[in-house]
Structure 1
Amino acid sequence: MQNINLSRVDLNLFVVFDAIYREGNLTRAAETLNLSQPAVSHALGRLRERFDDPLFERAGKGVAPTPLAKAIVGRVRAALQDLESTLTEGLAFDPAQARRVFTLAARDVMESTALPPLMARLQQQAPGIQLRSVRIPRRDMESALSSGQIDFAADVLLPVSDQIEHQSLGEEQLVVLMRPDHPQAGQRWDLDAYLGARHVLVSSRADGPGVEDFALTRLGKVRDIALRCQNYYAATQVVRETGLLLTLPASYADHLLREFSGFTTRPLPLALPPLELHLYWHKKASRDPAVMWLKDQLTQLMPARSVKD
């Protein structure tokens, strides 16, 4: 038998092979496949050339398989069934039976507040699904979605091409976290009080201002940043041990107040529009029912979360 380059083989030939084997007659095989008898004969001729074997020989009014055809029919049928199952699974996603790994690009606030309820739902409805949460620089988000490196990204509203689809998850306000015994906690709270304290800035970037700093710059103001760190949990522990203030998403502050003692909040004394959080995915993924199913879970279970950076 010749060495076969699969990329050069019409897989429909094996559908014809299976039909001939099952029917034992080229005419009936053609009727089953809704093809003409010459088309079936031509397909069989191509298979005979590939395998260098007749595959079927005349037997009465029909045909009988050769020893080679009998030897390969089981593997051919198994392969066809696997392909059919793959196509069926792609069209009808069953979360309970799915085995899939999804990757979400998210910031640490979302990991803390959204992943627990999301994983609880996945364990109940789709125990075979695995989720990876990673951090992707915003400049790389679209290329990561296009290449399949990530399936989703959750971030603030960003400019993207028409190849990237997105859905709003809500809006987020910023608040200021401090210790209950902080000097500012019992005094008049305004912009002067905010600027009179020292601050923690959370950012994955090595330098550059935060959202609130842009607003302050427009007012000709600068705050005193004592610490710049990469995640909010570390920043909250610093706030607990020091007199520093932390400006953070209200949803994460609410989470901290429910779970831990030793914190209090004040509204941000700046006129800032709320931050919009969006879920992003590539346009081609909209044809994948598994991705769309997980999108529904994310949008249902991920209330407005800021990913301020």
Structure 2
Amino acid sequence: MININRIDLNLFAVFDAIYTQGGITRASRTLCLSQPAVSHALGRLREMVGDPLFVRHGNSLKPTPVAHELIVPVRRALGEIEGSLNRLSVFDPALSDREFRIGMRQIVESTMIPALIDEIKDTAPKVRIASVQHSRGEFQTQLASGVLAAVIDVHVPFAHGIQQQHLAGKGMVVVARKGHPALCGELTTDIYLAHEHILTSSRPTGPAPEDLALSRLGLQRKIKLRCQHFWTACRVVAKTDLLLTMPERYAHITNASLDNRIAPFPLKLPATDLYLYWHASAENDPANSWLRQQISQAYLR
């Protein structure tokens, strides 16, 4: 039996950093420790649990099955300790210079970040915001470990210890150049299908939500171009007769500097709902609560 009174809890912080960063060098930078100190801590933890925990794979360290089993309770415990300590302190946004790391996709960043910065620029002038890419399969553990303060994304399956708040969504619209014949009157499904389209997706293959809606009716549109970013697609639209289908909220922002026109999508599609996620250990943390409130207010702008 392992006596908890004889365990250095710093070993688990090192373990979490190596697991997250995939190597001792990167973990040492994250922890602001020397590489020998991190290696020594890992050696002590290996001896304590009787498992190597990580094995060399190319230039990185891969977790063993024991490490995979251990990381969940370790991150939960570290998160709860950090949350408890945070609750002991008073968070004053007017004086704080804290950085909040928020996981979000590019399309969310382009609409959320300008509104969020405008929301806090006067009340929290020193607070720093970091918008970072996140993985939908890993952000739960990133929230639990404190790597991320919050995540904004579509609905994902419920995970233990993760809290969520629904952010109202909007539907899809069709973007076309000024003077495009498709938008001279009401944009019907027949007119929509008669023209060529741009499909925008970060995935290399597969349909977009509008294609799935059309396929359920036995319909298919003509894809002339597939690209990764809506800004690129909007610029192409401005110079061609191609039509672009995209989320309404993003369409108005992206096309503000272009002379494109926006029309409702001719079919009924579910709104693109977004959710705000945070870890349960941060539920009553004054700083995290403040951040969630600012995000909610910014989203309503």
How far has the Cα of 1:108 moved from its partner?
2.7
Shift of 1:194: 1.2
Report what 2:138 is aligned to.
140
Counterpart AA for 2:221? R
Q: Which amino acid aligns with 2:212?
A: F
Aligned to 1:179: 177
Aligned residue for 2:143, secondary structure, equals: helix
Measured after TM superposition, the shift of residue 88 of structure 1 is: 7.8
1:273 paired residue number: 270
Counterpart residue type for residue 281 of structure 1: W
Q: Deviation at 1:110?
A: 2.6
Which of 284, 288, 304 aligns to 2:285? It is: 288
> Which residue of structure 2 aligns with residue 235 of structure 1?
233
Correspondence for 2:100 among 102, 111, 117: 102
- The gaps in structure 1 that reach 5 residues or longer are 9-85, 305-309
String of CA shifts for 1:202-253, please: whole Å, max 9, x gaps. Answer: 2222222111111112112222222222222122111112211111111122
Q: Tell whether the 8 Å contact from 1:100 to 1:128 is kept in structure 2 after alignment.
A: yes
Paired residue secondary structure (1:227): strand
1:115 aligned partner: 113
1:207 paired with 2:205, answer yes
Whether contact under 8 Å (1:108, 1:232) holds in the other structure is no
> What pairs with 1:1-309 in structure 2 (closer than 5 Å)?
7=8, 90-187=88-185, 189-256=187-254, 259-303=256-300
Moved more, 88-97 or 242-251: 88-97
In structure 1, give the amino acid aligned to 2:259.
G
CA–CA separation in structure 1 for the residues paired with 2:291 and 2:186: 46
Which has the larger displacement, 138-147 or 98-107? 138-147
- Alpha carbons of 1:151 and 1:267: their partners in 2 closer, same or farther (altered >3 Å)? same
Query: What are the Cα deviations for residues 5-46 of structure 1, in whole angstroms up to 9, with x where unaligned?
Result: 9949xxxxxxxxxxxxxxxxxxxxxxxxxxxxxxxxxxxxxx
Letter in 1 for 2:176: M
Q: Quote the offset at 1:117 in angstroms.
A: 2.5
After superposition, the C-alpha distances for 1:78-134 in whole angstroms (9 at most, x for unaligned) are xxxxxxxx9587431111222222111223333222211311233322222211112
- DSSP-derived class of the 1:287 partner: coil
CA contact (8 A) 1:142 1:160 kept: no
Q: Is the 8 A contact 1:172 1:277 kept in 2?
A: no
Q: How far off its partner does 1:280 sit? A: 0.9
Cα displacement string for residues 111-158 of structure 1 (whole angstroms, at most 9, x for unaligned residues): 222211311233322222211112223333323323333221112222
- Mark the CA change 1:208 to 1:146 in structure 2 (over 3 Å): closer, same or farther: farther
Q: How far apart are residue 189 of structure 1 and its match?
A: 2.0
Q: CA deviation at 1:166?
A: 0.7
Larger Rg: 1
Query: Is the CA contact 2:152–2:274 (under 8 Å) kept in the aligned structure 1?
Result: yes
RMSD after superposition: 2.5
Structure 2 residue identity aligned to 1:208: G
Matches of 2:237 and 2:196 in 1, distance apart? 10
Change (3 A) 1:194 1:97: same
Per-residue CA deviation, residues 238-281 of structure 1 (Å, 9 max, x unaligned), is 11122111111111223345x32411111111121222221111
* Shift in Å, 1:300: 0.9
Figure out how many residues of one structure are paired with residues of the other and give that number. 222
